[in-house]
Amino acid sequence: MRVLNIAHQGGEDEFPSNTMYAFHKAMDAGADMLELDVGVTRDNKVVVLHDTSVDRTTNGSGLVKRYTLSQIRKLDGAYWFSGGSDAYSHAKKGSAYKFRGVATGDRKPPRGFHAADFRIPTLQDVLDEFPRVPINIEIKGRTKKEAVAEYLYNARVLAKLLGGTKHPDLIVVSFKQQAVDLFHQLAPAIPTAPGVDGAAAFLFGGTPLPEGSVAMQMPITYKLGDTTLEITSPDNVRKAHDAGYAWQTWMSGNAEDGEPTWRMLIGECVDGIMTSRPVALERLLKAENIPGPGRTGADPCPGA
């Protein structure tokens, strides 16, 4: 199955982040797996949105936790999408925002789609729409500087939702290890990937990954104070493989998310690439004869 094309936010540089339209377009292009982010509304509904506020991508403002589901469904989830490396700049001409108004009925949707496909979906909407597609779910909180309380609250609500799910292929992650641990405690049947603390203990302290872990989901580098640590490296990937874990590298919205980096990661034997450009990555994987669930080819790292 190496190398998985994992559509980060559904491919947020190519399609409007975390919308049903993006998820469908990414899968149609050949993505093997969807990555998405979840928050919790005021009335405890799990919705799919990358940020903890709605300001960057929608026509609304304020924290997700301040909205009811009914209110959040009225927002335009593609309002600030223009595409490219600055896909959510608020400084462009109105004509640049190609899907603005589709969600609200002010513009006709593309053929085969509906206004709802450009709104903020619930996680249940996505699970129902893609019952057999592998889905990576990241638990969000408020801000990195805040205490972990909101992450833990969201982990509880997510675990309650997923406790009875029949979806066969989910993985849950969060930057906060406490949120991952709590989720695993409440929904132990669903695989997880470690947060920052769990991953650091494994890579640099020799500690086994927390129970429930099946994969490392890591950036290429991580800045710690004035030091830049190389995280995705041949040695670290090999260490994960030797311990029985997959290695999936994430990147999004930056210059490194492109062909030279993808080729480097393939050479380092990563098992999945989480990209903001799943259409472009799929072209490379096909051109290089790299196998996957929907591609034939030769494993670039046999035995790894």
Active-site entry in 24, 50, 90, 184 = 50
Domains in the chain, number: 1
Per-residue pLDDT of the chain (304 residues; tens, 9 = 90+): 789 999 999 999 999 999 999 999 999 999 999 999 999 999 999 999 999 999 999 999 999 999 999 999 999 999 999 999 899 999 999 999 999 999 999 999 999 999 999 999 999 999 999 999 999 999 988 655 566 888 999 999 999 999 989 999 999 999 999 999 999 999 999 999 999 999 999 999 989 999 999 999 999 988 888 888 899 999 999 999 999 999 999 985 556 889 999 999 999 999 999 999 999 999 999 999 999 888 889 999 988 8
84 within domain boundaries: no
46 within domain boundaries: yes
277 within domain boundaries: yes
Please say if 50 is a catalytic residue. yes
177 within domain boundaries: yes
Residue 49: which domain range?
4-53+121-287
168 within domain boundaries: yes
133 within domain boundaries: yes
137 within domain boundaries: yes
Residue showing tokens 């999936």? 248
71 within domain boundaries: no
The model's pTM = 0.96
Classify residue 289 as exposed, middle or buried by CB count within 10 Å of its CB (0-12, 13-18, 19+).
exposed
What tens digit of pLDDT does each residue of 86-124 get? 999 999 999 999 999 999 999 999 999 999 999 999 999
The CATH number assigned to the domain holding 280 equals 3.20.20.190
What tens digit of pLDDT does each residue of 232-264 get? 999 999 999 999 999 999 985 556 889 999 999
